[in-house]
């Protein structure tokens, strides 16, 4: 037996007392067998650019580490001038956030570490730890000419109340929410989306043309499923703005699989007809008013309408009993979150260099996760109102979940090896699938409403 396997088994044995009755351990033949016997269809909807504290900060369900339970959390208005005072988390934010917070890699750097070019060696050795104090500062730097401080703090530090997000509130109260789930890369949308479906952004750190030109050379979940006889469809909101994520990869076009990228309207027909593929992957529209991904300045209530439509279609369709719906976000979008991001193995040996606002270059080695984001498992096979804390990797270590936890778990469902060391090291979540299906799942979600009284 390989020494790390033995260590893993020992730590599972040690952890056994802490696991509630009826729960499985991850990475075991029992948890994998249970997953395979109950889940036939996986649906993934990736929303845009919001942090956990921003979206779920006002949820009262026990076990969530958020500003409502454990705050307020405060940032200095100005990292170098304490006399300017503090900006703190508070209830209620805007339906439409008009000043999009900085979420470039250097934006995440200043938000997490207080500087644009933190020392990579000090980070890798654990000497430099993120403190998540720079969100208000970066928002003031970018937008103080355009908006007043009160509005800027409301945008970047405040959270949505349960009443403001009735669809998400119902999902949190009825299904499973991850308390420690991070985006894969502390940077923009497309690198994170690529990492979610292929385990690496292949060195890309910005939404560059390579994504539009189908240049990513790496194996994606789409290629993997096709090559092993499993079905997938990438449904896309025709208003555009995100992805389609299957189109990032050169494989998709070189092998004529672009016909599996279809308009979102087909999803509703397929769900009603029981004709959804094994993997349904949905790209919402982005990013202005009228789009559905929750990306600023798109309305939160329009994003909720999309989530409700997808849920209601699945719930009333003939495949619901076999379905696992994973609702997640691509990245934290520069919105405040008080939980620091952990280090993680590099997916490959690539780096990405960009110029920061103060003129210095910063080289990112892809050795740490991005901000904490909301992720929920929605299925008759997960517990009601359940909050999952940290997960376990294949060595038995307790770690935060991340976007690559999805590929780690789907590898167990559909028999494929981790595409990259990042995926291999990720915590899987197949053990959260229960052995009995629930019969008390809501048949439809509440109707969201555009926020009253102006924008808040």
List contacts with ligand NAG (CB under 6 A): 48-49, 78, 80-81, 103, 140-141, 144, 148, 150-151, 188-189, 200, 202, 207, 217-218, 250-251, 254-255, 286-287, 295, 331, 333-334, 347-349, 420
User: What is the spatial distance between Cα 157 and Cα 337, in angstroms, rounded to a whole number?
Assistant: 8
Bridge-based pairing of strands 376-378 and 176-178 is antiparallel
Runs of H (alpha helix) within 344-420: 404-414
Cβ-based nearer residue to ligand NAG, 177 or 218 = 218
The residue number with the shortest CB distance to ligand NAG is 103
For residue 162, the minimal CB distance to ligand NAG (Å) is 25
For residue 448, the minimal CB distance to ligand NAG (Å) is 21
Separation in Å, CA 105 to CA 39, 251, 288, 340, 437: 36, 28, 22, 15, 42
Bridge-based pairing of strands 86-88 and 352-355 is unpaired
For residue 319, the minimal CB distance to ligand NAG (Å) is 30
User: What is the spatial distance between Cα 32 and Cα 392, in angstroms, rounded to a whole number?
Assistant: 14
For residue 74, the minimal CB distance to ligand NAG (Å) is 16
Asked if residue 48 lies in contact with residue 283, where contact means CB atoms within 8 angstroms, the answer is no
For residue 183, the minimal CB distance to ligand NAG (Å) is 9
Q: For 33-166, where are the E strands, in sequence order?
A: 41-47, 74-76, 86-88
Contacts for 71 with CB less than 8 Å, ≥ 6 apart: 57, 88, 89, 338
Length of the chain: 456
Cβ-based nearer residue to ligand NAG, 120 or 250 = 250
Q: What is the DSSP string of 221-239?
A: HHHHHHHTT--EEEEE-TT
Cβ-based nearer residue to ligand NAG, 135 or 401 = 135
For residue 5, the minimal CB distance to ligand NAG (Å) is 21
Cβ-based nearer residue to ligand NAG, 140 or 382 = 140
Asked if residue 101 lies in contact with residue 50, where contact means CB atoms within 8 angstroms, the answer is no
For residue 13, the minimal CB distance to ligand NAG (Å) is 32
Cβ-based nearer residue to ligand NAG, 31 or 49 = 49
Cβ-based nearer residue to ligand NAG, 349 or 443 = 349
Cβ-based nearer residue to ligand NAG, 227 or 415 = 227
């Amino acid at each position: 037996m390989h020494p790390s396997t033995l260590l893993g088994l020992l730590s599972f044995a040690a952890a056994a007392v802490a696991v509630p009755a009826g729960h499985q351990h991850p990475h075991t033949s029992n948890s994998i067998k249970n997953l395979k016997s109950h889940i036939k269809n996986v649906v993934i909807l990736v929303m845009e650019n919001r942090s956990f504290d921003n979206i779920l900060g006002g949820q009262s369900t026990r076990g969530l580490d958020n500003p409502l339970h454990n705050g307020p959390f405060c940032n200095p208005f100005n990292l170098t001038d304490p006399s300017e005072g503090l900006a703190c988390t508070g209830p209620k934010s805007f339906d439409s956030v008009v000043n999009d917070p900085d979420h470039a890699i250097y934006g995440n750097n200043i938000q997490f570490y207080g500087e644009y070019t933190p020392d990579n060696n000090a980070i890798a050795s654990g000497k430099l730890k993120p403190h998540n104090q720079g969100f208000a500062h970066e928002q003031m730097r970018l937008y103080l000419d355009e908006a007043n401080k009160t509005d800027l703090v409301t945008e970047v530090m405040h959270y949505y109340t349960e009443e403001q997000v009735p669809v998400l509130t119902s999902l949190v109260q009825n299904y499973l929410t991850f308390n420690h789930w991070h985006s894969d890369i502390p940077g923009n949308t497309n690198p994170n989306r690529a990492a979610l479906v292929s385990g690496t952004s292949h060195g890309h750190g910005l939404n560059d043309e390579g994504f539009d030109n189908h240049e990513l050379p790496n194996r994606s979940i789409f290629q993997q499923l096709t090559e092993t006889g499993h079905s997938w469809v990438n449904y896309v909101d025709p208003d555009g703005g995100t992805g389609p994520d299957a189109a990032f990869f050169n494989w998709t076009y070189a092998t004529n699989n672009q016909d599996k990228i279809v308009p979102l309207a087909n999803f509703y027909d397929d769900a009603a007809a029981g004709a959804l593929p094994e993997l349904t992957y949905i790209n919402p529209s982005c990013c202005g008013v009228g789009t559905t991904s929750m990306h600023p300045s798109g309305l939160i209530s329009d994003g909720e309408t999309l989530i409700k439509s997808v849920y209601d279609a699945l719930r009333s369709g003939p495949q619901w009993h076999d379905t696992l719906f994973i609702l997640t976000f691509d990245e934290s979008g520069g919105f405040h979150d008080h939980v620091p991001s952990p280090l993680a193995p590099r997916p490959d040996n690539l780096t990405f260099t960009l110029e920061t606002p103060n003129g210095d270059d910063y080289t990112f080695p892809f050795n740490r996760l991005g901000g904490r984001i909301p992720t929920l498992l929605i299925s008759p096979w997960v517990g009601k109102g359940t909050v999952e804390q940290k997960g376990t990797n294949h060595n038995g270590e307790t770690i935060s979940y991340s976007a690559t936890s999805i590929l780690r778990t789907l590898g167990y469902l559909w028999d494929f090896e981790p595409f990259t060391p990042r995926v291999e090291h990720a915590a899987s979540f197949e053990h959260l699938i229960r052995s009995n299906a629930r019969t008390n799942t809501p048949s439809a979600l509440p109707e969201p409403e555009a926020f009253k009284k102006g924008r808040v």
